[in-house]
Structure 1
Amino acid sequence: MRSFARLVHVVGSALLVASFLVGANAFAAGSPQTITSGSLKIERHGNHGSPIVLIPGLGGGPWVWQNTIDNMEKNHVVYALTLAGFDGMPMPKQGGNLFDLADQSLGNWLQSAHIGKPILVGHSLGATLALRFASEHPELIAGVVAVDGLPLFPGMDRVSDEQRKAMATMMQKHMTSFTPEQFKAEQLTYMRQTGMIDQEQAEHYAFLNARSDIQATAQYMAEDLSSDLRPGLKNATVPILEISPYKESDFSTGPMKMSEQQKADYYKSLLANAPNAKVVSISPARHFVMLDQPVKFQQVLDQFIASVH
């Protein structure tokens, strides 16, 4: 009887310890691979190697990084984020500034999860968030890859702060008036004209983007348009790589006429305050460069990661 009681005690203790370990690490083997932390949803892919955190752009979800995840999960632990209001994630109940909330949620998660110093890879608005995070919390990360996302919305360096904020307010008011059908149509037009080269892919990804909350999309866009993160970049001491996509026909005429080198130089000027930033151009590609040029994109990303580690 004593040995049976001892066995029950040992097994019970083991189960208690196992239960504690699974609870302490939501990504442990056999547990769900998705958690929510603050305003973020976090998917984990892979189980060894240096950590990479992927942040989608406006309206995006982990699906925008699928090629990248497939390529990297063999050698890295990849965390794909979804921001509040995007891809089925609800808007925060407490309201407030969405960039502030995302920044706070990311910082709290990195400090509590103890995953090591990751490289943040952000697209568009996600890149802007990554650059802001690098300016405020450089000690928590190893580097940033900003995929066609900047500390200041392109062209907004030519207007005053007041003009920029007024434009952001007007844009938000206009976008929040969209019906779901109008929002879907707007996403499709954007994807076809600016998002990506392949028109069939453009339609597919426009449908996915349109699943996001209209109010959230408008608020994130307004916060992005009205902000200027350039002064804070002096504190972003980690290595930063800005990826500038270029498609010649998109920049051959009109007020946006510029060569590939001129576009890369303009991006570099907006990052001038960052101590350790460089710009790489990938062509032919539009805004979703990782979808237009997945092989070139992955090569550039792998080279940067190798240089950091």
Structure 2
Amino acid sequence: MHVERHGKQGTPMILIPGLASGAWVWQDTVRQLEKDHVLYVVTLAGFDGQAATEGPLLEKARASLLDLIQTQKIDKPVLLGHSIGATLAIWFAQQHSELIRGVIAVDGLPISPGTENTPADQRPALAARFKTQMTAPTPEIFAAMQLQYMRTMGVIDEKLAQSAARHTSKSDPVATANYASEIVAMDLRKDMHKVLVPLLEISPYYATDFASRNISLEAKNAYYLSLLHGAPQLQVVAINHSRHFPMLDQPQAFAEALNQFLKTVQ
């Protein structure tokens, strides 16, 4: 796990990017927060040019977070995670709520959406199929997959999609597929009651993507609430007109959501 530090005073925070992402995804967020917070921006092994490692990847990442907090003597940080980084933050909170003061999960959940009805004994096979689908045989195909994802699910603006895809294409394709398959295999819902700190779920919503399924912003929020059921101090906040990267699509609305939550956990 690679770590960058920004800021000199204030409430500490650990920022965890999502799948195939690195510290670049938090660039605007760091500028917004570094005056009033000490920020530790991590990049997981295998992403954004960092060396890959052997699995289980998420378990090692969780252990690395614990090591970071303990060795750097970070006093109850807020965990801010995106995508699989959010799932990792929730998982960490289930085990170590006493070491943190809050979790902000950006479009990341305790279970991969759409798999919540898959029985536990079928999840390994589902994860294996997902890994096969995600595996790119060449760097060129991996880069094309990243661009297609960013254009259709990642962000709204085409130039932003191209820029983000250039970044994510620097990640290790095998590591990316392995992380994704581990997420699909997980179901953390039964332990949501163990998240004993305030939990904010940021739910991006882009009406064009949901029009064909007639899913409203309110319906998507309710769905996310159902997947997070059991967390004692939970709130879900929608950011409209954004896809999976609301910090890129709607940086101002994203900053406002963060600031409102952070006021409650100082």
TM-score range for the pair, normalised by the shorter chain length? over 0.9
| CA deviation vs aligned residue, 1:67-109 (integer Å, no higher than 9, x gap) | 00011111111111000000111112xx230010000011011
Identity of aligned pairs, percent? 48
Shift of 1:177: 4.4
Superposition pairs of residues 85-96 of structure 1, within 5 angstroms: 85-92=46-53, 95-96=54-55
Q: In structure 1, what is the equivalent of residue 249 of structure 2?
A: 292
Structure whose alpha-carbon radius of gyration is higher: 1
Q: In structure 2, what is the equivalent of residue 82 of structure 1?
A: 43
* Structure 1 residue ranges (4+ consecutive) displaced by more than 4 angstroms after TM superposition: none
CA distance in 1, matches of 2:244, 2:135: 23
CA distance in 2, matches of 1:284, 1:174: 29
Residue 199 in structure 1 maps to residue 155 in structure 2: no
Residue 280 in structure 1 maps to residue 237 in structure 2: yes
For the residue of structure 2 that corresponds to 1:157, the secondary structure is: coil
CA distance in 2, matches of 1:176, 1:249: 28
Shift of 1:51: 0.4
Match of 2:191 among 225, 232, 249: 232
Q: For the structure 1 residues 197 and 118, does the alpha-carbon distance in structure 2 shift closer, same or farther, using more than 3 Å as the test?
A: same
**Are the equivalent residues in 1 in contact too, given 2:136–2:142 (CA < 8 A)?**
no
**Are the equivalent residues in 1 in contact too, given 2:203–2:237 (CA < 8 A)?**
yes
Q: In structure 2, what is the equivalent of residue 175 of structure 1?
A: 134
Residue 144 in structure 1 maps to residue 103 in structure 2: yes
Superposition pairs of residues 127-166 of structure 1, within 5 angstroms: 127-166=86-125
Structure 2 residue runs without a partner (length 5+)? none
Q: For the structure 1 residues 198 and 177, does the alpha-carbon distance in structure 2 shift closer, same or farther, using more than 3 Å as the test?
A: closer
**Are the equivalent residues in 1 in contact too, given 2:48–2:168 (CA < 8 A)?**
yes
| CA deviation vs aligned residue, 1:5-40 (integer Å, no higher than 9, x gap) | xxxxxxxxxxxxxxxxxxxxxxxxxxxxxxxxxxx1
Shift of 1:63: 0.3
| CA deviation vs aligned residue, 1:40-87 (integer Å, no higher than 9, x gap) | 111001111110110000000000000000111111111110000001
For the residue of structure 2 that corresponds to 1:137, the secondary structure is: helix
Superposition pairs of residues 98-137 of structure 1, within 5 angstroms: 98-137=57-96
CA distance in 2, matches of 1:287, 1:244: 9
Match of 1:54 among 3, 11, 15: 15
Superposition pairs of residues 204-219 of structure 1, within 5 angstroms: 204-219=163-178
Shift of 1:159: 2.1
CA RMSD between the two structures: 1.0
For the residue of structure 2 that corresponds to 1:224, the secondary structure is: helix
CA distance in 2, matches of 1:205, 1:68: 16
Q: In structure 1, what is the equivalent of residue 180 of structure 2?
A: 221
Number of equivalent positions: 266
| CA deviation vs aligned residue, 1:102-130 (integer Å, no higher than 9, x gap) | 00011011012112110000000100000
Structure 1 residue runs without a partner (length 5+)? 1-39
